[in-house]
Amino acid sequence: MFVDQVKVYVKAGDGGNGSVAFHREKYVAMGGPAGGDGGNGGDIVFEVDEGLNTLMDFRYQRHFKAPRGEHGKGKGMHGKNAEPLILAVPPGTTVKDLATDEVIADLTEHKQRAVIAKGGRGGRGNIRFASPRNPAPEIAENGEPGIERDIQIELKLIADVGLVGFPSVGKSTLLSVVSAARPKIADYHFTTLQPNLGVVDTADQRSFVLADLPGLIEGAHEGVGLGHQFLRHVERTRVILHVLDMAGSEGRDPYDDFITINKELEQYDETLLERPQLIVANKMDIEEAEENLELFKEQLEEDYEIIPVSTITREGLRELLFKVADKLDEIPKNYKPIEEKEERVIYRYEKQEEAFHITRDPDGAFVLSGAKIEKLFKMTDFTRDESAQRFARQMRSMGVDAALRERGAVDGDTVRLLDYEFEFME
């Protein structure tokens, strides 16, 4: 089964907790601190495997969690860092964060890697908190939480040439004749429900990858018919073969078909029409085809190269393959030019996310939220008084106390942070 789009939840490993420990040493209060740091959590990493051509492995397992780092130990021993969780994906995989709609990675080359979710760093042990004022601290951090996110994984096939056209114009038949691929062929619309790839070899020992993509209809750019299931895959092709039923066997006009399909391509991504496009006038073995072809040439306003063929009699196919191979020789692999960037780096101010937000629950309690304050909370070991006091100082330095007073908080009011409740005190 061909799977080219799937939604997945990933969770990188949390960092290991720092340790509170002491060793015996003459003339050192309480023997001195000896708690080591926790290990770093494992990353979620995607790696391209050219042997894959589908996202089938993600169809039945939708949750992936990397291991957490090992906790720190006594005698200053550092916890072991966790190994990354490496997931294999096919070439052409794009990863998008569902919450922000941001593209995290675009993976195209064999063995290319991308960190999709970063593991948390290990918490610091009490060795790190020793100071002249507090030579034997009972403070240690919990490990930093690993990144967790819902992502959408899309596969955009990497093919040199893409076949576009209305259903039943002969795209699948053309692929089956010029390559060893065996797509489903039948006398009804939308026979091809998934993209098919075939390697084409020309008589002069040149080769290219040809993709037979599901048929388009009017409104495809909005998701009508197979919609984006098709259009996603044409993005990476370097040459477009526009297949037309020149005999009009479906009762449609070839020129109207041509205009409609190109309009759908343009509305999906206007850069698609900048790609070289060859017109394949198919079904030339039928009587009406010659007359329709002449009329089509008269109606055609732009200069397109037209190759008449018949997939049944195989007439014109040799010429078509040579023209495609010649066109590919003229086009670099990376069709979209990479914009040149100036060497001088210009600093642009980016607004930082607020450290915390304050809201009110229906029962009158003040609720603290925000990525920074929640991260500090999760990394605090509340089983130790010194760690709790340190967290209180951190909140004060962030301006939480002052902000609560401005919102009307007084002694004894309840303040909530995640699942934790405490009383506000002046």
Beta bridge partners of 281: 244, 308
Secondary structure (3-state) at 314:
coil
- Can you tell me the distance from the alpha carbon of 329 to that of 332, in angstroms, rounded to the nearest whole number? 8
94 is in an annotated binding site: no
Residue 32, annotated as binding a ligand: no
Is 313 flagged in the annotation as binding? Answer: no
Q: Is 192 annotated as a binding residue?
A: yes
**Is residue 167 a contact partner of residue 184, using CB atoms and an 8 Å limit?**
no
- 111 secondary structure, DSSP code: T
AA identity, residue 289:
A
Which secondary structure element, helix H or strand E, spans residue 263, and what is its range? helix 254-268
| Helix H or strand E segment including 86 | strand 85-89
Query: Is position 282 annotated in a ligand binding site?
Result: yes
Ligand-binding site membership of 283 (annotated): yes
190 annotated as a binding-site residue: yes
Provide the β-strand partners of residue 159: none
152 is in an annotated binding site: no
Report whether 237 belongs to an annotated binding site: no
Find, among 46, 49, 50, the residue nearest to 66 by Cα: 46
Give burial (CB, 10 Å; 0-12/13-18/19+) of 419. exposed
Report the candidate in 63, 67, 77, 108 with the shortest Cα–Cα distance to residue 90.
Answer: 108
135 labeled binding residue: no
DSSP class of residue 126 equals G
Query: Per the annotation, does 387 bind a ligand?
Result: no
- Is 213 part of any known ligand binding site? yes
In one letter, which amino acid is 337?
Answer: P
Half-sphere exposure in the Cβ direction for 390 (13 Å, CA): 19
Q: What CA–CA distance (Å, rounded) separates 123 from 318?
A: 66
Residue 116 counted as an annotated binding residue = no
212 is in an annotated binding site: yes
310 is annotated as contributing to ligand binding: yes
Annotated ligand binding at 284? The verdict is yes
Report whether 215 belongs to an annotated binding site.
Answer: yes
Q: Is 168 annotated as a binding-site member?
A: yes
Residues marked as binding? 165-172, 190-194, 212-215, 282-285, 310-312
Residues marked as binding for GTP? 165-172, 190-194, 212-215, 282-285, 310-312
Residues marked as binding for Mg(2+)? 172, 192
